[in-house]
Amino acid sequence: MVIKNIITAVKNIYFGPTVTRMCPEVATKLSDRFRGLQKLDKDKCIGCGICANTCPNNAIKIIRARINPESDKQRWFPAIDVGHCLFCGLCIDQCPKEALSNSKVYLTGIIRWNHEDLLFTPDMLAREVDINAEDEAGEEVSRWTPQ
């Protein structure tokens, strides 16, 4: 039995299918239903707060942010504490304006060492700043205070 197992293992090393990948160099193929970091369409968002009220983990806070990178005008938008997000998708399902959607971002841009770095501002959710280069983004990625 032991010999048989060893033979099977050796055979698989040379002739079996590849079962491991170099991550993140080789990306995992994701299904269309995959729920990664939320994406915000600021033009559609009306700041109603339904997403925040719906979130089962209290991960969303409605804060004031610029309506777009070129303007000084501000409105209310959701910010998401991704460190507390379950990626359940309820905020997306309940948004009356379809302002929130799923993206396939789940590695670069999300993996951070500190909880406060997982607080995604509206600018970040709208991808108005490069979420992979927060050091260069300066004030653009100023965080909201964790509750």
Contact residues toward ligand SF4 (CB under 6 A) are 45-51, 54-57, 59-60, 78, 80, 85-91, 95, 97, 99-100
The pair of three-digit structure tokens given for residue 114, joined into one six-digit string: 């500190």
State which residue, 63 or 137, has the beta carbon closest to ligand SF4: 63
State which residue, 92 or 141, has the beta carbon closest to ligand SF4: 92
- Least distance to ligand SF4, CB of residue 89, Å: 5
State which residue, 52 or 129, has the beta carbon closest to ligand SF4: 52
- Least distance to ligand SF4, CB of residue 47, Å: 5
Burial track 81-109 (b if 16+ CB lie within 10 A, e otherwise): bbbbbebeeebbeebeeebbebeebbeeb
* Positive/negative CA dihedral, 45, 50, 54, 57: positive
- Least distance to ligand SF4, CB of residue 95, Å: 3
Quote the DSSP letter at residue 112. Answer: -
